[in-house]
Each structure stands twice: as structure tokens, then as C-alpha cells.
Amino acid sequence: MKNWKKIIFALFITGIVTAGAVVLYVYLKPHRDVTQEKGVQLSAQKLFDAFKANETEANTKYLDKAIELNGEVSDITTNQDGKTVVNFKTNDPLFVINCTFKTNPGELKPGQTIIFKGICTGYIPDANVVINEGVLIK
Amino acid sequence: MKLFFSFVVVLLLSTGIHAQKIFGTRNGKVSFSSPSDEDVKATNNEVASRIADNGQMTFSLLTKGFKFKLAEMQEHFNDQYIESTKFPRADFKGTIVNLKDVNFTKDGSYKVTVTGDLTLHGITKNITVNGTVDIKDGKPSAMGKFDIIMKDFNIDAAKVTQKVSAEINCQYQ
């Protein structure tokens, strides 16, 4: 085989391998796993206070961050796709921290104090702060 | 006598004021998909929504709460298209236009037309959605489907899709 043919062949193979790698990267890139991250530790009340006082500031601190939240369970429900949801109490009876588990946490009861770690997706005024893709720590 | 009097007062109060009934959920569901790219498909299960028997409806969701099958796609959606750090929330506030066709106290499936303002990516537009309100055991659920044209909300996603089809499904308590 002549040299220039070898070069073209090598370039061709490199191109295919690169394209394959890009496709694999896009399709196989894993989702964020909160268990591998160190969470910001704080109480449900403190998280609510921060968002209520200044949403923009709280967003820069907590939005998209791993949060390790401790607090009292207000109620336990299941979302429309069967995942367990725990609402944490705050001092405002109409406001909770809404936390969705990605794995089944087992049996939980209202009034129990637990620690939950998940990713904060933000604040909905007059309703709740949302944390999802979470797991039970304690 | 005093007891009787207060009883009458309570009775008057309770019949005199027709309390508006509000149903809510913190975990309603909104999903969207692109008709041109089957990988563009995501669901949000943390939609805060209220529906009142006077016809008012509100929906609020956090754009970072959309889950895609592909992590890479989810990242592009948040960083490049919806810019969810700058615009973390989307809101809809509207009313049922044909409220007279809906009986909140009687089980059944009612066709509704809802019109109101959708705020997405920092832009507010009036939209009209056709859907249904189902009443089962006195509790409503709402379903609706509508298209969102990307450029209407100044979302630069031409490379991926011109529009997405959004689907709402909220079960209220």
C-alpha cells in the first residue's frame, strides 16, 4: 500500500472512532449521582428562610447543589410516577420542602426527623422548595 | 339562650359566605417532547398547581426539574436552551372559559378551554389550551396538551427542534 493511501485510511479510521466515541459519550453519559457528592448541610427551616428572604441570593447558594437536609417529616406521598415524596415541615403551615426520592426509602412516618440528600431545583413562592433525585441518609 | 344565639350566628355565617373551594398539588406532572427528535423528551413531577371551583388555575414548575433519558441532553436543555439558572421557573395563570360546563361536585369528565398567561424563559404570552377536568370521588384532575413554539419564547433551539408538544397531567387533593 502506498504511503498516501495509508494516511487516508488512518484518517478514515480515526474519524469513525471519534464519531463513535462522541455518540457513546452522549448516550452513555451517566446522570448526576447525589450519593457521590458532598451535600450542603442545613435544616428545612433554614432553607425555607433563605428562599423567603431573598430568592436570587438563595438560588446562587443552593440551586442545582447537592443539599443534605434535616427536618421533621410533615407527610409522605407518592408522585404520579410512583416515586416516594416527603414533605418537610417549616414554620409556615402552608409551606414545605418537597423532596422526591430516586430510591425507595422504606417506611417513614409523619413526625419523624430524617436526613435527606438530593439536588435542589428551586423555589415556588407560596408552595415549596423542591429537592429531587434524593436518597435517605438517616 | 347565649348558646342558641351563637349557634344562629354560626349558621348565618356558614350559609352567608359561599366559600370558594381550592384543590392543589405539589407533585403534578408536565412532560414535553419534540415531534422531530425522539430523544427530546422530558418529564417534571414537581409541578405545583391549584384549581378552584371559580375556574382559576395556576401551574408553577422549576425548569431544572425536567428529567431527560440522556444526561447530556438534560445539560444542554438547562444550559443552552431554557437557561434555567437565569430563568429557574415557568408559571401559568389562567381561567376556565367554559366554567358553566364543569360541575365540581359531580363525578364526570368535562371538556374545558383554559386561557391565560404562560411565562417561560422570561417571556409572557397569552395561550389557550383545550383539555379535560375529571372529577372522581369529589377530587379533580386536569389534563391538557398544547404546542410551544420555541421562538415565541425567545428560545434558540432551532438546531434541535422548532416546537415541542407539552402535556399536563395533574391530580389534585
pLDDT digits (tens, 9 = 90+) for B105-135: 999 999 999 999 999 999 999 999 999 999 9
* Beta-carbon separation of A31 and B74 below 8 A: yes
pLDDT in tens, A45-98: 999 999 999 999 999 999 999 999 999 999 999 999 999 999 999 999 999 999
Could you give the ipTM of this predicted complex? Answer: 0.86
Q: Does B59 touch chain A (CB under 8 A)?
A: no
Q: Output the 3-class SS for chain A.
A: CCHHHHHHHHHHHHHHHHHHHHHHHHHHCCCCCHHHCCCEEEEHHHHHHHHHHCHHHHHHHHCCCEEEEEEEEEEEEECCCCCEEEEEECCCCCCEEEEEECCCCCCCCCCCEEEEEEEEEEEECCCEEEEEEEEECC
Domain A36-136 listed as CATH 2.40.50.140: yes
The answer to whether residue B58 neighbours chain A at the CB level (below 8 Å) is no
| A127 phi, psi to nearest 5 deg | -135, -75
Test B45 with A132 for CB contact under 8 angstroms: yes
**Pairing mode of beta strands A40-43, B41-52:** unpaired
Cβ pair B114, B96 in contact under 8 A: yes
Per-residue model confidence (pLDDT) at position B4: 59
Domain boundaries, chain A: 1-30, 36-136
Q: Which of A120, A121, A117, A119 is nearest to A136 (CA)?
A: A117
* Integer CA distances (angstroms), B34 to A53, A127, A133, B165, in order: 38, 30, 24, 6
Length of chain B measured in residues: 173
- Contacts of residue B62 in chain A, CB cutoff 8 Å? 121-124, 130
For the domain made up of B21-171, give the CATH fold.
Lipocalin (2.40.128)
Q: Do A130 and B28 touch (CB under 8 A)?
A: no
Cell of B116: 391565560
Asked if A29 lies within 8 A of B60 by C-beta distance, the reply is no
Q: How far is B121 from chain A (nearest CA, A)?
A: 15
Write down the pTM of the prediction: 0.87
Q: Which residue from B48, B61, B169 is facing A80, i.e. has the nearest CB? A: B169
Tens-digit pLDDT profile for residues B78-94: 999 999 999 999 999 99
CB proximity under 8 Å: B 18-37 to A: 26-29
CA B4 to chain A, closest CA, distance in angstroms equals 33
